[in-house]
Chain A
Amino acid sequence: MGEQLSKAFLVLDDGTIFEGESWACEGETFGEAVFSTGMTGYQETLTDPSYHKQVVVMTAPHIGNTGMNTTDEESKKIWVSGFVVRNPSPVVSNWRSERTLEDDLKSNGVVGIRGVDTRAITRHLRDLGAMRVGIFSNSGLTREEMVIKVRKTPAMTGAFLSDDVSTDNTYVVPAIGEKKFTVVALDMGIKGATPRAMSQRGIEVHVVPSRTTFEQIVALNPDGVFLSNGPGDPATMTEMILLVRKILSARIPLFGICFGHQIMGRALGFETYKLPFGHRGINQPVKNLKSGRIEITAHNHGFAVAAPVEVNFNTIYGAGFVSHLCLNDGVVEGLELLEAPAFSVQYHPEAAAGPHDASYLFDKFLDLMKDAKVANA
């Protein structure tokens, strides 16, 4: 044990304080406290834009063992606003590793805390719900001052964060092999794995800024439109919801993931609501209500769509149904329209990190575009 570690504090909205040691950058950081239960995939988690403005508590105690590498990045930077780990690795051991976790956190300016009872924090969040949090190291503030500072930060409910994470300029991910389709992906915080999964299936993906207009999209003459994952409260996405309604009306095949699913839900007329502590992990059982099969899936969502599960529902785009359900708590995990070419899932078929059980959904999107092409021909 070389360097002496300085004290750091994890301070929750409700006044609970956990004491640990500072790690990565020193300083102050704020966000929504959430826990993630994945035992692998910390790099993918850190670089997933959906974690923007969140302080992530890893329930797995040892983090950083396999270092960081360029190929596993989900985006160009680390998005979490704070990182809470019990035992960061002192070394890196993996043939693909290029850098250490701590170095990457430092170069991305992420304030971390180590040596805290992450299970106690997780139980606290599970029982009381996700809440605002701050990490303080070397702040010189009293406990009361820290709590007050945390309480002054904005909450996740009502947060509009798309502009923070969306690409400024359109970029194209070319199809691998023969190009079959063109898809416009609306970037509200897209993960690299999603265009990758599509390009592997012969789709050319145009990743466009979230403020792209319907006309701009149509100008690209896409076979389908994809709504990405991303951070924030779906209720704040008024313009995006209007855009999605236009796409639905135009019967352009549509596929949404996570935040994109919540937006599709709202576009269909459903409400979204905040879950008490969200789903964040890579072991979540989801039942495909059509096939009866169970998929083990990657989740990262704090909000969910309120839709009727027992019966088909009617929308202005025709009938639809809840296609997937989380077996742990009955949360709606998928929506599908019967009379319009559109479906969405709350979880992550692109995985990264997580199981690949739901990758068939990309094939389904492909089929949807195929059918639309045949119908239009």
Chain B
Amino acid sequence: MPKDSSIESVLVIGSGPIVIGQACEFDYSGTQACRVLRSEGIRVILINSNPATIMTDPEFADATYIEPITPEIIEQIIIKEKPTAILATLGGQTALNAAMQLYERGSLERLGVKLIGADIPAIKRGEDRETFKEIVEKIGGSSAKSVICHTMAECIAGAEFLNYPVVVRPSFTMGGLGSGIAYNQSDIELIAGAGLRHSPTTEVLLEESIIGWKEFELEVMRDHKDNVVIVCSIENIDPMGVHTGDSITVAPALTLTDVEYQKLRNLSIDIIREVGVATGGCNIQFAINPSDGRIIVIEMNPRVSRSSALASKATGFPIAKIATKLAIGYTLDEIQNDITKVTPASFEPTLDYIVVKVPRFAFEKFPEADTRLTTTMKSVGEAMAIGRSFAEALQKALRSVEKKGTSFHWNTRGVTKEYLLAAMAIPTEHRLQQVQLALYLGATIEEVYAATKVDTWFLSQIVEINSIAKQITQSTDLSEELLRLAKSNGFSDSQIADLTGKSLAEISAIRTRIGLRPVYKTVDTCAAEFEAHTPYYYSSYDLESEVIPRTKPAVIILGSGPNRIGQGVEFDYSCVHAAFALKAAGFETIMINCNPETVSTDYDTSDRLYFEPLTLEDVLEVIYAEEQAGPVVGVVAQLGGQTPLGLARGLQDAGVKILGTSPDAIDLAEDRGQFGELLRVNSLDAPTFGMADTFEEALKIAHEITYPVLVRPSFVLGGRGMEIVYDDESLADFIKKATEITPNHPVLIDKFLDDAVEIDVDALFDGEELYLAGVMEHIEEAGVHSGDSACVLPSFSIGSALAREIRIATEKLARGIGVRGLINIQFAVVANATAQEKLYVLEANPRASRTVPFVSKATGNPLAKCAALIATGIKISELRAKNLLPKSGDGVANGISVKEAVLPWNRFRRNDGTGVDSILGPEMRSTGEVMGIAGTFGEAYAKSQTAAFGALPMAGSVFLSLSERDKKASLYPAQILSGLGFKLFTTQGTHDFLKQNGVDSELVRKHSQGRGPGGEFTAVDLITEGVVGLVINTPLGRGTRMDGWMIRTAAIQRGVPCITTIAGFKAAVAGISELQGKSFSIRSIQDWLAIVE
């Protein structure tokens, strides 16, 4: 049956901000969904609070609501837009939960709208653990023995029944949030306690431990005629015990016979049928006992998932796209396979290559956090690589992660086999490297297997890699045969250089001389059985290359690699825009990237896709191959963040043309000396700074420029290791730490502009004209990393004189640096005693910034597209003529847009199991962002808070505990709160201060004082018992003071909004007063932009 013609319009629910466990894979799936629906002539209505997504670009839907994903707002949208159906299976757990809430409120029935994809009973059957276990039993499968618990007492009894260790899994959470492994009763109290709180149904499941079993996933699709196909099998190299999102995984499964694989396949098919996922994709996880093959069904997700994105990229079978087509009535045999063009989608992809995915972690951002990998996902991104053998794919994937120490090395100094064998028994992000080095040091496969339960097949492959490394170290001259063997096993030139003691240049010279280069093979879904029409390539050191010749001039776009804190979906957004714009401008677009979660690695995005690591060697090889295929205009490196920017110099040195801003200009902006000179010449001010080699010197500089100062090791970027220091003592502390991490590197000391307002500017420059796209004002004071700070566009406290000054400064810097494309500048504004505002330049980045998508959404101008076109020589005046930019003037935002950062505190715990502190600082720690747009600042801010953390309370109680220096500034918002009818709870100092100023509050005990004689609550009790709906706690500096830390972690664990800055407090109060007694107003982005016209 073809399309269901009764579906005229569909509301697509997105997944909201990027958080750990729910990343940009849902932008990929949602974007595909929107594209499919529109191409079928269906009106698309979209809700997603995340502005950094492609799917929320106005051209991807008919009505795009960048609004908090709450049932109240979705109801309003349904009433206004009257969609025929809701598609909630492509927006991760967020969308699925929203659909459940709508159902529970009776909204679906009341408003006459149906769910397509999975219906409510199917979602319940798939997600409710007890029901799911019954289904597994019914179809003849088995589950781990388990107990469902709703209270702590049940948990303790349950664990005793199952025997420790037990796995704790809360219901209806994603990414394993709140789950963990409990070895004893105190573990249970801690983990199950958190699990009960995180589960929306206050339900956790305790399970017998199957730690160390082999772990597999199957991606399954079903259409409404009950045709079922398995798209992909995935095997986890890390066995059970590590969340699949944190595991190194491989596709296809490599250690199963057909008999065992078919058992998993049959179980999967029976499960999807019995759960009743009507149409679309789901993923099912299995554990297999390695000693006897006993199979346990772990869980299913009745929706498109992170694994679906991986499976789509791994096979070339676009799961989300096909799931959408199935949801609107098509059957699998009616859908064409995009890649072969002749065969239908009703088949099972077969791979003639190996895919490896490696997660990327960010523990360095959370030094307090426990680095053990458990069943709670902690990785922030992933890289995927494809090779013609496991070794090739694995080594490519490891270097794609782009993190020091991730690629294998053979330097055994300081480690012993015994140490490594002991260390690897506890899974951490370094386990595979420990395994590899231990094997190199002579550990046997059996020893390593005993410590890790990593399948011996994978271990044997690592042994082969090590043996090649050994041959290289032992060979006097690197024979062509050995070099070829190493390359085909995934060794990079730099690994070979390290092993031989030769330089990188020498190795690549040898390769060039003997003509040893990779070939490029096609991902074609069918192992070459049919001809592929989609140029989706990966490199391999093999015989035959499949790159097809072309005549159109090509532009190569470098993506941003795995998501990490500081480099996320925002940069992929810009790269995708470049691909669209350059394609429209008549170029052949070629994308290089290795992040499977993204839209940029969708084979539909660019004309050609190379799924390759973003290292100089790998990128140069792609460029070489493409130069053989046809004319190459150059490379766009300014849109993918720091990763491609870091490659620009090397590419230019190798003779590659960098389009847009030149590597020299990039260096100028990054070099403090040159940049300081540029500021001086242009009479621009920067905070005074100095560099110190010793503590004495640092002390001297600090005294000269006066505290507070911002200190950081000189070589890092992105706020790594930065701290604000207020006195000699903490400076000494910092220097001690800093010199530990960077021996022989000086420390940079900047004057910290206390209480300054920070301004972020995004602008375009073509060499002649400047287009000021947006001037954003940070809500948090300077000192909070710009990526973690909320900001508002347009800025509200900048007068016209200052605005002019900012524009002039931006133009001077853009011109002085030599920008051709985007530039982002951070300014600080300090109001001095004479009320004169003074502008300081904090830093300038001649590249696309994190805020490009936000500014593009708020102003309706496609900045990244413009930047890509400027890079090819098009002028801003031409962009104005093409309506890509306004006819005249700078960017104008209609409405007020607030961007808020989302932080992953609830994912991390300290070694003792308690939460990590949640104070914002100069080091960026947010994983994603949301946007709130409204007519007033208060409403826009309240929307952003609701989208990021949950609704602000409109009545009830608020807890206030303020540092001494913040007390004065907090008086006014506290008065307002009190006036709005809120009850205030305060600790002693805050209490006294407010009392002196005539504001009533109830004094509560500090946590350190314990409960009172009559059981009076402490501040922490107030939060954990749910008495207060909002916590305002401003700490001083970064030193963790016990009381504040306990308060903040309690708020995070309980899910109570917790504001840690005075500016945030003021903004929240503005939001509450704006909204009290009424609901949010909603308006689509298309409507907002129409006002601008």
Give chain A's interface residues, CB within 8 Å of chain B.
Answer: 1, 18, 35, 37-41, 43-44, 59-62, 65-66, 69, 71-72, 86-87, 89-91, 93-96, 116-120, 122-123, 126, 281-285, 287, 292-294, 296, 327-329, 351-356
Cα separation A39 to B350 with both chains bound (whole Å): 7
Complex interface bits, B248-280 against A, C-beta within 8 A gives 1, otherwise 0: 000011111111011001100000000000000
Cα separation A117 to B346 with both chains bound (whole Å): 28
Least CB distance from B779 to A in Å reads 53
Chain B residues, Cβ within 8 Å of A353: 258, 262
Cα separation A38 to B527 with both chains bound (whole Å): 9
Known: A44-B258, A120-B542. 16 other contacts (CB 8 A): A1-B467, A1-B468, A37-B526, A61-B389, A93-B455, A94-B256, A96-B257, A122-B352, A292-B225, A293-B225, A327-B333, A327-B343, A327-B344, A328-B530, A352-B258, A353-B262
A118 contact from B349, B352, B546, Cβ within 8 A: B352
Query: Which A residue's beta carbon lies closest to that of B545?
Result: A120
Query: Which A residue's beta carbon lies closest to that of B252?
Result: A39
A40 engages B347 (CB within 8 Å): no
Least CB distance from A28 to B in Å reads 23
B352 engages A60 (CB within 8 Å): yes
Between A and B, 13 residue pairs with Cβ closer than 8 Å are A43-B258, A59-B529, A65-B457, A93-B255, A93-B455, A116-B543, A119-B352, A119-B388, A281-B529, A285-B333, A294-B227, A296-B347, A327-B347
Query: Which A residue's beta carbon lies closest to that of B352?
Result: A59
Interface hub of A1, A44, A69, A329 (most chain B Cβ within 10 A): A1
Cα separation A44 to B468 with both chains bound (whole Å): 33
* B: interface residue count bin: 35 or more
Chain B residues, Cβ within 8 Å of A86: 388-389
A37 engages B347 (CB within 8 Å): no
A37 contact from B257, B292, B527, Cβ within 8 A: B527
Q: A86-B388, A95-B290 are in contact. Are A59 and B350 (CB under 8 A)?
A: yes
B255 engages A123 (CB within 8 Å): no
Q: A37-B529, A94-B257, A293-B226 are in contact. Are A284 and B347 (CB under 8 A)?
A: yes
Residue B1088 at the chain A interface, CB threshold 8 Å = no
Q: A284-B347, A354-B262 are in contact. Are A126 and B332 (CB under 8 A)?
A: no
A40 engages B256 (CB within 8 Å): yes
Least CB distance from A326 to B in Å reads 10
Chain A residues, Cβ within 8 Å of B352: 37, 59-61, 118-119, 122
A91 engages B460 (CB within 8 Å): yes
Q: A1-B471, A126-B530 are in contact. Are A95 and B390 (CB under 8 A)?
A: no
A296 engages B261 (CB within 8 Å): no
Residue B293 at the chain A interface, CB threshold 8 Å = yes
Least CB distance from A295 to B in Å reads 9
Query: Which B residue's beta carbon lies closest to that of A69?
Result: B257
Chain B residues, Cβ within 8 Å of A69: 257
Cα separation A123 to B252 with both chains bound (whole Å): 21
A283 engages B350 (CB within 8 Å): yes
B350 contact from A37, A123, A327, A351, Cβ within 8 A: A37
A296 engages B348 (CB within 8 Å): yes
B544 engages A351 (CB within 8 Å): no
Query: Which B residue's beta carbon lies closest to that of A67?
Result: B257
Complex interface bits, B25-51 against A, C-beta within 8 A gives 1, otherwise 0: 000000000000000000000000000
Least CB distance from B248 to A in Å reads 17
Chain B residues, Cβ within 8 Å of A285: 333, 343-344, 346-347
Least CB distance from B802 to A in Å reads 62
Q: A59-B527, A122-B527 are in contact. Are A328 and B343 (CB under 8 A)?
A: yes
Cα separation A273 to B258 with both chains bound (whole Å): 30
Cα separation A342 to B331 with both chains bound (whole Å): 30
Chain B residues, Cβ within 8 Å of A96: 257, 293
Query: Which A residue's beta carbon lies closest to that of B257?
Result: A66
Interface hub of A44, A95, A282, A329 (most chain B Cβ within 10 A): A95
B292 contact from A18, A59, A95, A118, Cβ within 8 A: A95
Least CB distance from A232 to B in Å reads 23
Chain A residues, Cβ within 8 Å of B342: 328-329
Residue B528 at the chain A interface, CB threshold 8 Å = yes
A294 engages B333 (CB within 8 Å): yes
Query: Which B residue's beta carbon lies closest to that of A291?
Result: B225
Chain B residues, Cβ within 8 Å of A95: 290-293
Query: Which A residue's beta carbon lies closest to that of B332?
Result: A294
Residue B464 at the chain A interface, CB threshold 8 Å = yes
B254 engages A65 (CB within 8 Å): yes
Chain A residues, Cβ within 8 Å of B225: 292-293
Smallest CB-CB A-B distances: 8 pairs: A41-B258, A117-B543, A120-B544, A353-B258, A59-B527, A93-B457, A283-B348, A40-B258
B350 engages A281 (CB within 8 Å): yes
Least CB distance from B257 to A in Å reads 5
Complex interface bits, B349-367 against A, C-beta within 8 A gives 1, otherwise 0: 1111110000000000000
Interface hub of A44, A120, A287 (most chain B Cβ within 10 A): A120
Query: Which A residue's beta carbon lies closest to that of B455?
Result: A93
Query: Which B residue's beta carbon lies closest to that of A328?
Result: B343
Residue B198 at the chain A interface, CB threshold 8 Å = no
Residue B865 at the chain A interface, CB threshold 8 Å = no
Least CB distance from B889 to A in Å reads 56
Least CB distance from B988 to A in Å reads 64
Least CB distance from B347 to A in Å reads 4
Chain B residues, Cβ within 8 Å of A89: 457, 460
- CB contact list, B218-257 vs A, under 8 A: 225-227, 229-230, 233, 252-257
Complex interface bits, B451-467 against A, C-beta within 8 A gives 1, otherwise 0: 00001110010011001
